[in-house]
Amino acid sequence: MAIARIALPVAVYGEFDYWVPSGLSLVEGSLVRVRLAHRARVGVVVGLADVSEIETSRLQPVTEVVAGFAPLPADLLAVARFVAGYYHEPLGQVLAQMLPPLDREAGPRRHATPLAGPLTLTAEGLAELPQRLARSPRLAALFASWRAAEDSVIAEHELRALPSHVRAALRGWLAAGWIEPAPDVPPAPAPHEPNPEQAQAAAAIVAAQGRFAPFLLQGVTGSGKTAVYLAAAAAAVAGGAQVLLLVPEINLTPQFERRVKDALPGRSVVTLHSGLAAGLRRRHWQAAAMGAADVVLGTRLAAFAPLPRLGLVVVDEEHDPSYKQQDLVRYHGRDVAVWRARLRGVPVVLGTATPALETLLHAQQRRYDWLVLSRRAVPEARSPQVVLADDRTAPANEGLADALVAAIGQRLTRGEQSLVFVNRRGFAPSLLCSSCGWQAGCPQCSARLVVHRDAGELRCHHCGHRARLPRSCPDCGNVDLFPLGHGTQRLEAALAARFPTARIARVDRDSTRREGAFAAIREQVHAGEIDVMVGTQMLAKGHDFPRLTLVGVLGADNALASADFRATERFGALLFQVAGRAGRAGLPGEVIVQTRYPDHPLFAALARNDYDGFAAALMEERRAAGLPPFARLALLGAEAPERAAVERFLAAAQQRGLAIVREQELDVEVFPPVPSALARRAGQERGQVLARSASRGALQRFLARWREDLDALPARGVRFALDVDPAGFS
Ligand SMILES: [Zn+2]
Ligand SMILES: [Zn+2]
Burial letters for 188-216: b for 16+ Cβ neighbours within 10 Å, e otherwise? eeeeeebbebbeebbebbbebbeeebbbb
Domain holding 16: CATH number?
Answer: 3.40.1440.60
Residue 407 lies in a domain: yes
Between 282-291, 300-309, 695-704, the lowest mean confidence (pLDDT) is in: 282-291
CATH code of the domain containing 513? 3.40.50.300
Q: Ligand 1 mean position to 422 CA, how many Å?
A: 29
- Tens digits of residue pLDDT in 291-307: 999 999 999 999 999 99
In a domain, 437, yes or no: no
Ligand with an atom nearest the CA of residue 472: 1
- Please list, in sequence order, all residues whose beta carbon lies within 8 angstroms of the beta carbon of residue 701, skipping any fewer than 6 positions away: 664, 666
Contact 602, 569 (CB under 8 A): no
Per DSSP, what are the bridge partners of residue 595?
390
Quick one: 164 and 249 in the same domain?
no
* Residues 177 and 201 reside in one and the same domain: no
Q: Identify the sign of the CA torsion 50, 52, 56, 62.
A: negative
Do 308 and 415 sit in the same domain of this protein? no
Return the ligand number nearest the Cα of 438: 1
150-164, 225-239, 576-590: range with highest mean pLDDT: 225-239
Residue 551 lies in a domain: yes
- Expressed in angstroms, the distance from the first to the final Cα of the chain is 50
Q: Are residues 293 and 174 in the same domain?
A: no
- Going from the Cα of 460 to the center of ligand 2, the distance in angstroms, rounded, reads 5
Instruction: Identify whether residues 358 and 307 lie together within a single domain.
Output: yes
Q: Is residue 182 within 8 Å of 151, Cβ to Cβ? A: yes
> Is residue 313 within 8 Å of 261, Cβ to Cβ?
no
CB 39 within 8 A of CB 56: no
Residue 66 neighbours by CB distance under 10 Å = 16
CA–CA distance, 460 with 245 (Å, rounded to integer): 36
**Are 335 and 252 found together in one domain?**
yes
Please, which pLDDT band fits residue 551 given cuts at 50, 70 and 90? Answer: very high
Mark whether 421 and 557 lie in a shared domain.
yes
Query: What's the pLDDT at 107?
Result: 39
CA distance linking residue 399 with residue 376, whole number of Å? 34
Distance 479 CA to ligand 1 centre (A): 8
Q: Which of 80-89, 431-440, 538-547, 650-659 has the lowest mean pLDDT?
A: 538-547
- The reported pLDDT for the residue numbered 648 is 96
Separation CA 679–CA 273 (nearest Å): 32
636/615 same-domain check: no
**Helix (H) or strand (E) segment spanning residue 95:** helix 91-98
pLDDT in tens, 406-461: 999 999 999 999 999 998 999 999 999 999 999 999 999 999 999 999 999 999 99
User: 681 C-alpha vs ligand 2 centroid, how far in Å?
Assistant: 6
Percent of the chain with pLDDT over 70: 93
| Domain assignment present for 451 | no
Tell me which of 72, 98, 124 is where a domain ends.
98
Q: Are residues 494 and 597 in the same domain?
A: yes
Nearest ligand to the CA of 447 is 2
Instruction: Give the tens place of pLDDT for each residue, 315-343.
Output: 999 999 999 999 999 999 999 999 999 99
Separation of alpha carbons 422 and 424, rounded Å? 6
Report the pLDDT value the prediction gives residue 378, as an integer from 0 to 100. Answer: 61
What's the average model confidence in pLDDT over 689-693? 98
CA of residue 671 to ligand 2 center, whole Å: 28
Q: Do the domain assignments include residue 655?
A: yes
Residue 109 pLDDT > 50, yes or no? no
d(CA 425, CA 490): 9
Which ligand approaches the C-alpha of residue 448 most closely?
2
Q: Is residue 603 part of a domain?
A: yes
HSE, CB side, 13 Å, CA atoms: give it for residue 435. Answer: 10
CB distance 592 to 402 below 8 Å: no
Mean pLDDT of 523-546: 84
Q: What is the pLDDT of residues 642-677, one digit of tens each?
A: 999 999 999 999 999 999 999 999 999 999 999 999
617 shares its domain with 637? no
The dihedral through the CA atoms of 418, 421, 426, 428 has a sign that is: negative
Task: Taking residues 605-614, report their average pLDDT.
Answer: 90
pTM of the model: 0.88
CATH code of residue 650? 3.30.70.360
Residue 284 · residue 276 · CB < 8 Å: yes
How big is the CA angle at 554 (ends 549 and 560), to the nearest 5 degrees?
120
pLDDT in tens, 120-146: 887 677 777 887 887 788 888 888 888
Total count of domains within the chain: 5
* Domain boundary, last residue among 126, 153, 181: 181
User: Which pLDDT does position 108 carry in this prediction?
Assistant: 39
Looking at the fold, whether 45 and 129 belong to one and the same domain comes out as no
Same domain assignment for residues 593 and 676: no
The mean predicted confidence, pLDDT, of the chain is 89
> What does the pLDDT read at residue 173?
82
> Which ligand is the nearest neighbour of the Cα of 443?
2
Dist. CA 83–CA 340, nearest whole Å = 10
pLDDT above 70 (res 183)? no
Q: What is the DSSP letter of 77?
A: H
CA 156 to chain centre: 25
Domain boundary among 582, 599, 621: 621
Distance 482 CA to ligand 2 centre (A): 20
pLDDT at 128: 78
Structural domain boundaries, residue 170: 110-181
> Which of 289, 358, 356, 300 lies closest to 328, judged by CA?
300
Asked if pLDDT for residue 186 goes beyond 50, the answer is: no
Ligand 2 center to 448 CA (angstroms): 8
* 187 pLDDT above the threshold of 80: no
**477 inside domain:** no
Q: Could you give the C-alpha distances from 260 to 233, 247, 276, 675, in angstroms and in order?
A: 9, 12, 18, 46
What distance in angstroms lies between residue 458's CA and the mean position of ligand 2's atoms?
11
596: left (phi over 0), alpha (psi -120 to 50) or beta: alpha
Predicted local distance difference test score (pLDDT) of residue 105 = 39
pLDDT at 420: 95
What is the tens place of the pLDDT at every residue in 475-503?
A: 999 999 999 999 999 999 999 999 999 99
Query: Is residue 453 in a domain?
Result: no
Distance CA 466, CA 461 (A): 10
SS3 per-residue string spanning 633-669: EEEEEEEECCHHHHHHHHHHHHHHHHHHHHHHCCCCE
